[in-house]
Amino acid sequence: LAAATVVPFDGEGQLADGHPVALLANVGGAADAVSAAAAHAEGVGLFRTEFCFLDRVEALTVEEQVAAYRGVLAAFPGRKVVVRTLDAGSDKPLPFANADHEDNPALGVRGLRIARRMPALLDDQLRALARAAEAESAVVEVMAPMVATVEEAGEFAERARAAGLTRVGIMIETPSAALLAAELFDVVDFVSLGTNDLAQYTLAADRLLSELGDLNDPWQPAVLRLIGMVGEAGRAAGKPVGVCGEAGGDPALAAVLVGLGVTSLSMTARSLGRVATALAEVTEDDCRRAAAAVLAARTGEETRAAASAALRNA
Ligand code: PEP
Ligand code: MG
C-alpha cells in the first residue's frame, strides 16, 4: 500500500475497482451529526443514544427522545442512520438504568440486558424512534447492543417491528454472537461489529485498562477470525455486515475488514478521509488476499505484518 496523501472525503467510499464500501459516522447527538454531514459522511453507522441520557437522573420522556432523535435524523435527509438502543452499563452507567453496584459490570446487566428488568425503557425508546423516523426522511435502522443469544436478537427484532421500525439489526460484540452469526441473520436484517467490546470479551481484557492494550486490539488473530466468521455468514445470507468500533476508523485495517466480508465502516468523522484514501488504492481481490493472509497469522504482530505484505504491491 503506497504512502498516501490524506485527502478530504468526497462522500463516496469505494475501492479502486469501484466496489462500494459505505463510509459512515459515529455520532452521539445532533451536534456530532451536523459535523459528520459537513465531513460528507454517507450516513450514520452508530448513533450512541445513551449520550442523550447522560447526566440525567431519570430517563428522557418519549417526547424528549423524539426531539433528540429527530435532531440527528435531520442532518441526514434521505440517508441511512443506524440508531443503537440504550447501551447503559459497564463503562457508561446511567443512574436510572443500572444497579448501584455489580461485581463485574462489563459482564453484568448492560446494553440490551437492561430490558429484562425495565422492558418499558426499551419500548419507549423504540416508540420514540419510530415517531422520529416518521417525521424525518432519513432511512432509519435500529440495532441493539450487547447481544449474546439468538433469543435476545429475536425478541428485540419482534419488539422493534411491533413499534413500527422496519430495518432491525444487532451489534456483534460478544464471541457468542459472532459464533452464532448465521443463526442471528435468520432473525435480523443486518449486523454491526462493535470491535471495542468484541476485543474486550474475546481476549477477556478490560477495555479501560491501557496496561492491557496489547490484548485489547482488533488486530489480535482471534478477533479477526471471529470477524471473518461473521463476514462469511453475512455473504451467505446476503445481508450487510458493518463495523462501528474503533477498528472501523483504522486505515491500515480497512482493506482487511472488507476482505473479511465487511460491507460498511463507521468511524469518527475525522477518520473518513484517511480510510477512504486507503480503500481507493486497493481492489476487492487485494482485500481478499489481505484477509486470507491475516486469517493464517498466529499473533497480533503477524496479522499486521501479513496485511501490509499482502497490500504492499496493491
Ligand atoms: C464497540 O464496542 O465497539 C462499540 C462500537 O460500542 P461502544 O464503544 O459504544 O461500546
Ligand atoms: Mg460496545
Could you tell which of 50, 82, 87, 268 is best to mutate to test the pocket of ligand 1, judged by most ligand atoms within 8 Å of the CB? 87
ipTM of the complex: 0.99
Ligand 1 atom closest to Cα of 50?
Answer: 9
Residue 6: is its pLDDT beyond 60?
no
The CB-based long-range contact list for 89-96 (8 Å cut-off, 24+ gap) reads: 89/113, 89/114, 89/146, 91/207, 91/208, 92/50, 94/50, 94/53, 94/54, 94/56, 95/56, 95/57, 96/56, 96/57, 96/58, 96/59
Task: Report the alpha-carbon distance of residue 240 to residue 233 in Å, rounded.
Answer: 10
Residues 58-64 have a mean pLDDT of 95
Residue 177: is its pLDDT beyond 80?
yes
Residue 93's pLDDT is what?
87
Residue 99: is its pLDDT beyond 90?
no
Q: What is the pTM of this model?
A: 0.96
Residue 314: is its pLDDT beyond 90?
no
Ligand 1, atom 10: closest residue by C-alpha: 197
In this predicted model, what pLDDT tens digit does every residue of 225-238 receive, in sequence order? 999 999 999 999 99
In this predicted model, what pLDDT tens digit does every residue of 104-158 receive, in sequence order? 999 999 999 999 999 999 999 999 999 999 999 999 999 999 999 999 999 999 9
167-172/139-144 β-pairing:
parallel
Average per-residue pLDDT in the chain?
96
In this predicted model, what pLDDT tens digit does every residue of 198-222 receive, in sequence order? 999 999 999 999 999 999 999 999 9
**Which residues crowd ion ligand 2, with CB under 5 Å?**
173, 194, 197
Residue 200's pLDDT is what?
98
Residues 278-307 have a mean pLDDT of 98
In this predicted model, what pLDDT tens digit does every residue of 245-283 receive, in sequence order? 999 999 999 999 999 999 999 999 999 999 999 999 999
Residues within a 6 A CB radius of ligand 1: 46, 48, 87, 173, 194-197, 244-245
